[in-house]
Structure 1
Amino acid sequence: MIARLILIKLIVLLGLAFLIFFFGFFPTLVQKYYSTGFYPYISSALRFISSIFPFAVSDIIYALLIGFVLYKIVRFYKRRKSLKKQDRTLVPLQILNFFLILYIVFKLVWGLNYSRPSVSDELGIGNEKYNVKELVSLGEYFIKKTNALKVEQNKNVAYAITDLETNSAKAYDLMEKKNPLFAYQSPCLKSVLIPWMLSKAGIEGYYAPLSGEANMNMNLPDFVKPYVSCHEIAHQLGIAYEDEANLLGYLTASNSPDVNYQYSANYEMLRYILFEIRMKSPEDYKRLHDTLSPLVLADFKTEKEFWRKYNGEMFAYMDAAFDRFLKLNNQKKGIDSYQDIVIWLWNIHKNELKVKN
């Protein structure tokens, strides 16, 4: 009787999982009925509930899930010899059911956003490719802007998580006036319970689908926190891909009246641009690097030393694991997809640049 119930449950879960998976092949429908239909309500509700608690609920949830799985594994191992042959067959089915439930829940509370159309299209941002000369011109533009903003930046600001939540929500409210895509209800930005662990793993922050929280690594240098908070909030709004969250994070922070937010956004984008230039034209990279102000260079050094302090060899392993995760979620280029932001930055600013061909 028990075996039959487990088998029926498996069939039902497999059917639901297949329907959800199949639905993902229709981006327009996903956008209409999920990303701008069902998802905003479920995400807002999750954020409202999570905001009641002063700590990162997701850290507790994930710890309990991991503990539950480990408990089941140990329990099965201890009882394996006393279990009947039929019971041993049921265990794999129960495990499969458990992971099918996780898959369905993940897809319904956030994961289907991986199948929505690109937000760059929704924002009217082109995908025109740049040549090396244009890329260098973009780099010069961002260096000039970042150098200037660094002079204006309030260097004495030490952000608390409540400051970031309030200021970032205000920045999104301003952007909502330009495009409803930026609408952000029930703000919920949390500091992770163990920032040391995230720092060790090379993680700046993460979105927790099961709780709707945007979680920050508050060990980060203060000058990167405004942009990171805007990036993580973009995930809360249903922006699943990292490059697209970079785009919303940049647009939101750079258009904030807060100079620290502007600097944080331009500093982070400059990193991506310089990386791209370094790969395509090392000579230009060296020349541009020499034009960075000593203050901006000091921030690059501070951030580098921060990651070196925590990461060690762990960063390479986590980098490879995250690359694999991205590929499993349809980002075939893996971590290279981050560099799509440079294409969008070029298309956003190309009219401001004068490139002699």
Structure 2
Amino acid sequence: MQNKRRNFILTILLGVQIALVQFVSQQPNWVETYYSTGIYPYISSFFRILFGWIPFSFGDFLGIMLLTYAIRSFYKLIQNKFQHFKTSLLSFTAFLSVLYFCFYAFWGLNYFREPLAKSLGYTQTKYSTEALVKVVKKLISKTNKLQFKITQNDTVKVVIPYTYKEIYMKASNGYKNAAYIYPQFTYTTPSIKSSLVSLFQSYNGTSGYLNPITGEAQVNDMIPKTGSLLTTTHEIAHQIGFAAENEANFVGFLAAIFNNDIYFNYAGYRMALVKCLYDLGRRDKLLAKKLWKTVHKGIIKDFQNANNFWKQYENPIEPLLKKGYNSYLKANNQVNGIASYNYVVDLLISYFNDNHS
């Protein structure tokens, strides 16, 4: 009886929480001041200290256990011909209430903070095709130079010589260097893990994710390594409170190009190049193709290798999963859904226009 009363109260509180989150979502200044730059850094550091030392993804392990328990519980419910359906439903909604609280209290409120562009002093306006072309040319030059410096041959694909453990260790160096100019990018006590469900992530088209309950940055360790470097810095950006995908892409880019390691530099410019070229292709396909021809063949082979990897995992379920993720992003203040990943271009243009070479 006591459990039933507790579950009923938690279920009622779920509605209250949803209303509160909707209210807070309209207060970005409050979220920025009191949560994202207030209490969240302490919450984040606490969870990284708590789980970072564990050599495997505790969040994935916990998720697998919960999923197993849910399947068993549902099976028993069917076996008992739904005799305790109301009690089970109440237990489920009570669990959702706790999960909802943990998600937004531990990390999710970062979706509603002030735009990163504001804290960086960038004026976000519609950029011209000319401005985009200028940045694309700069990115091609940068990426070509780094590819050639690594391989000494413009037709050879860059191969990352590090293990995943080494990648995770090296990734924080870029944040350390970037923090001298951008203090909001300070990162301590790393907690980066290879996902226990990398195969599942490959099939749903995901290269990594942040577990908002344990604060662990999860990396799909099956993807080509030139992509994994940026995935790692991207997920770290989520860890330090940048929830929006375009902002995490940009912060991850900065952490990569500020890294002392040339492979991270290459990975950073590589990501920026593909995002900007894609955007240019939507505006002027012929010009994008013309510029694409100036990209070193070694870089093109790198992109082809990545495309071939994802193609082998295409399946009829993936679009449904992406549709669900798209709805999740839209529900959390990212009106462009999955397309938000590509909206890093305006931040990149602002960065290069801000007297950066």
Does the alignment reach a TM-score above 0.5?
A: yes
299, 309, 312: which one aligns with 1:309 = 312
Aligned twin of 1:266: 269
Distance 1:259 1:123 in 2: 25
291, 294, 306: which one aligns with 2:294 = 291
Contact 1:161 1:189 in 2 (8 A): no
Residue 16 of structure 1 and its aligned partner are, at CA, apart by 4.3
Query: Are 1:23 and 2:20 matched, yes or no?
Result: no
Aligned twin of 2:70: 69
Residue 233 of structure 1 and its aligned partner are, at CA, apart by 0.3
Residue 14 of structure 1 and its aligned partner are, at CA, apart by 3.7
Query: Are 1:142 and 2:139 matched, yes or no?
Result: yes
Query: Cα deviations across residues 164-216 of structure 1 (Å, max 9, x unaligned)?
Result: 22211111111111122111121011111232222222111111111111011
User: Judging changes above 3 Å, is the alpha-carbon distance between structure 1 residues 256 and 276 closer, same or farther for their aligned structure 2 residues?
Assistant: same
Aligned twin of 2:53: 52
Aligned twin of 1:213: 216
Query: Cα deviations across residues 85-112 of structure 1 (Å, max 9, x unaligned)?
Result: xx54443333222211111111111111
227, 231, 253: which one aligns with 1:228 = 231
Query: Are 1:184 and 2:190 matched, yes or no?
Result: no
Query: Cα deviations across residues 278-325 of structure 1 (Å, max 9, x unaligned)?
Result: 111111011111111111111111111111122344543443332222
Matches within 5 A, 1:1-357: 1-2=1-2, 3-80=4-81, 83=83, 88-153=85-150, 155=158, 157-350=160-353
Aligned twin of 2:155: none
SS in 2 for 1:153: helix
Query: Cα deviations across residues 201-243 of structure 1 (Å, max 9, x unaligned)?
Result: 2111111111111011122222222211110100000111110
Query: Cα deviations across residues 312-344 of structure 1 (Å, max 9, x unaligned)?
Result: 445434433322221122211112222321111
Contact 2:123 2:350 in 1 (8 A): yes
Which one is further off, 107-116 or 195-204? 195-204
User: Judging changes above 3 Å, is the alpha-carbon distance between structure 1 residues 316 and 8 closer, same or farther for their aligned structure 2 residues?
Assistant: closer
Contact 1:190 1:216 in 2 (8 A): yes
- Which consecutive aligned stretches of 4+ in structure 1 deviate over 6 angstroms post-superposition? none
Distance 1:200 1:91 in 2: 31
Residue 351 of structure 1 and its aligned partner are, at CA, apart by 5.5
Query: Cα deviations across residues 53-73 of structure 1 (Å, max 9, x unaligned)?
Result: 111111111112222222232
Contact 1:206 1:232 in 2 (8 A): yes
Give structure 1 stretches of 5+ with no counterpart: none
Contact 1:17 1:104 in 2 (8 A): no
SS in 2 for 1:310: coil
- The residue type paired with residue 144 of structure 2 is N
- The residue type paired with residue 151 of structure 1 is F
Query: Cα deviations across residues 5-47 of structure 1 (Å, max 9, x unaligned)?
Result: 4433433454345334423321111112211122111211111
Distance 1:91 1:319 in 2: 29
Paired residues, number: 350
User: Judging changes above 3 Å, is the alpha-carbon distance between structure 1 residues 167 and 79 closer, same or farther for their aligned structure 2 residues?
Assistant: same
Which one is further off, 109-118 or 88-97? 88-97
User: Judging changes above 3 Å, is the alpha-carbon distance between structure 1 residues 323 and 6 closer, same or farther for their aligned structure 2 residues?
Assistant: closer
Distance 1:215 1:314 in 2: 22
Query: Cα deviations across residues 138-166 of structure 1 (Å, max 9, x unaligned)?
Result: 21121111111111126454222221222
Contact 2:211 2:218 in 1 (8 A): yes
Distance 1:123 1:58 in 2: 32
Distance 2:354 2:48 in 1: 39
SS in 1 for 2:210: strand
- The residue type paired with residue 30 of structure 1 is V
Residue 78 of structure 1 and its aligned partner are, at CA, apart by 2.3
Distance 1:217 1:131 in 2: 36
Which one is further off, 5-14 or 187-196? 5-14
Q: Could you tell me the percent identity over the aligned residues?
A: 30
Q: What root-mean-square deviation, in Å, do the aligned CA atoms of Structure 1 and Structure 2 show?
A: 2.2
Distance 2:71 2:311 in 1: 32
User: Judging changes above 3 Å, is the alpha-carbon distance between structure 1 residues 312 and 152 closer, same or farther for their aligned structure 2 residues?
Assistant: farther
Query: Cα deviations across residues 244-280 of structure 1 (Å, max 9, x unaligned)?
Result: 1001001111122211111101101111111111111
SS in 1 for 2:312: helix
